[in-house]
A and B are shown apart, each in its own frame.
Chain A
């Protein structure tokens, strides 16, 4: 079994306005091809945990391994590289660059990684868009497509560098049930067919119940 993501004894404090122990000794791991959801009430720390796991938040104690590599204590530039190469993100709000076309949005992380030529990247990006059935929107501006389409574009963007793991912060939270269903199916397909690991924070019990494993959180603990 191949461990993609491993968290060891993660503790996190909010210092402002008062000292508050948000995450208490969190340890778990995600193996290759596993579709994991994190559930819990609002304020239990699940989003905070996700941003630590995503390496964007570095203010924590404990150890985090991504693809077997210790990320704690690395510089911001190194972490940016890890995010670029190993992690794909899907947020609750779609977060595309509005002035760029759909295709450019998808291509941008790969251009940053710089491992392939622009022609190859463009080809890959169209492949990913086809996978999500929105290749017909490729040349539209990102601000001109619907919410469901935007979310699929951001999934395509998350996939462009063939990451080890996809993380989502309530990716279906802002979508109607039909689009949410659609997004879930896409995730499941990725997990089963491409053996991709997924770690999704969600409120949606129906969504969570269909995943391989549910991590329940309460008051900063995993239960």
Chain B
């Protein structure tokens, strides 16, 4: 411990007496570390934003009744031709209903599962928005507004009005912003919806939403589940979709398989539906790591150079230290500790600089049509990034200092002293 203090004392004086070189080395580390922090924070923020754009409003499992042909055609039941190669022309989809059979008991069953955060029903209906002589195609979805807001951040996309207005108004409708613009509608206006069989239902506009995907905003609108059932002239047990949100997204795949098998329904998990997002995220992470590591490597070479120079300048000091009883290892420790001190100082400054610049980016306005609830660039502050950055600063400077220090350890004092 005692000799550690002496060694640190010597390192300190060496560093301070060459404050310019020391600062240059530390600044190199500072830039590397702050770049890492900024990149990681910003990249993760963007990742989160992009994921959120789709993933947050996408159910982890989407259950519905798909329309598809029977997998086993009747010909297959004929034993006489079982060895033959059968060709069936003009296969038609199986006659089935769009609604999910026994939907409410299924929802109750799912909600009892401890892995499930929530399962909520939806009723999707086709219709037309009527404005004078114009008719616009429409997708009208009946939702449970409060549960949607809680589970799928539905309220983030409502630009005017709010979910409560929809819930409290049986004849209310939340209109896509694209539809509203086309038809010059504002809150409080009435809109007429024609269903497939031509009946006209008047509804009151309680708000607008903007998903950021123009195709959806130009056609979609939301009403209460009951209203949707009324548009379709169906009974109260008519449910077309069940959306499930889980606590852990990793459970989505096995659970969707289980539901599909158990209930004979189609269940799509989020990973299958949005596979490209995970790839995007991991590639972006890889890029930010690669850039930061390159920066730190450059900083490491800077430290290596400066320590190497320092050792040539300090040949005499090394010889004296060795002659007066410091061992090779002591000398080595002096130079390694100098490198690590540079690493710690540069690293801490880098963390601070990185944090400040992140804050700055966090406050730069960033407004986009696509994401209505975002006003500034997204930045994530994750302490894990700060820990990784600091560890990397110390490890890289240690390695950069180790090689010159090893050289200093092996310097023969006799050669230096006699050489003069």
Contact = CB atoms under 8 A, between A and B. Distances in A.
B412 to A, nearest CB: 8
B320 A112 contact: no
B324 A99 contact: no
B329 A83 contact: no
B417 A109 contact: no
A109 B330 CA distance: 12
B319 A95 contact: yes
Contact of A84 (B324, B413, B417): B324
Interface string A85-101: 10001011101111110
Contact of A89 (B13, B316, B324): B324
Contacts of A124: none
Contact of A114 (B2, B10, B320, B321): B2
B418 A99 contact: no
Contacts of B10: 108
Interface string B321-337: 11111111110000000
Given A47-B418, A51-B418, A97-B317, A89 B323 contact: yes
Contacts of B413: 56
B239 to A, nearest CB: 81
Interface string B347-389: 0000000000000000000000000000000000000000000
Contacts of A96: 320
Contact of B414 (A51, A109, A161): A51
Nearest to A89: B323
Given A56-B414, A99-B13, A108 B6 contact: yes
Residue from B13, B17, B321, B325 having most chain A Cβ neighbours under 10 A: B325
B13 A100 contact: yes
Residue from B322, B330, B418 having most chain A Cβ neighbours under 10 A: B418
Contact of B320 (A84, A92, A95, A113): A95
A97 B13 CA distance: 10
Interface in B392-420: 413-414, 417-418, 420
B417 A57 contact: no
Interface stretch (A74-82, A126-134, A186-194): A74-82
A34 interface: no
A77 B329 contact: yes
Interface in A46-76: 47, 51, 54, 56-57, 76
A113 B325 CA distance: 8
Given A56-B323, A95-B417, A76 B328 contact: yes
Contact of B324 (A57, A92, A108, A169): A108
B17 to A, nearest CB: 4
A113 to B, nearest CB: 7
A114 B323 CA distance: 17
A150 interface: no
B96 interface: no
B325 A81 contact: yes
A44 to B, nearest CB: 14
Given A51-B414, A111-B6, A112-B3, A93 B420 contact: yes
A80 B2 contact: no
Interface in B228-260: none
A43 B71 CA distance: 103
Residue from B17, B323, B326, B327 having most chain A Cβ neighbours under 10 A: B323
Nearest to B317: A97
A157 interface: yes
A120 to B, nearest CB: 13
A100 B321 CA distance: 13
A125 to B, nearest CB: 13
B284 interface: no
Contacts of A81: 325, 327
Contacts of A95: 316, 319-320, 323, 417
B418 A76 contact: no
Given A47-B418, A95-B417, A80 B316 contact: no
B414 A80 contact: no
Nearest to B326: A112
A84 B322 CA distance: 9
Interface string A166-199: 0001000000000000000000000000000000
Contacts of A111: 2, 6
A51 B330 CA distance: 21
16 contacts: A51-B418, A56-B322, A76-B327, A80-B322, A80-B327, A83-B323, A92-B420, A93-B420, A95-B316, A95-B319, A96-B320, A99-B14, A111-B6, A112-B6, A114-B2, A169-B417
Given A89-B323, A93-B417, 5 more contacts: A51-B417, A89-B324, A95-B316, A108-B6, A112-B6
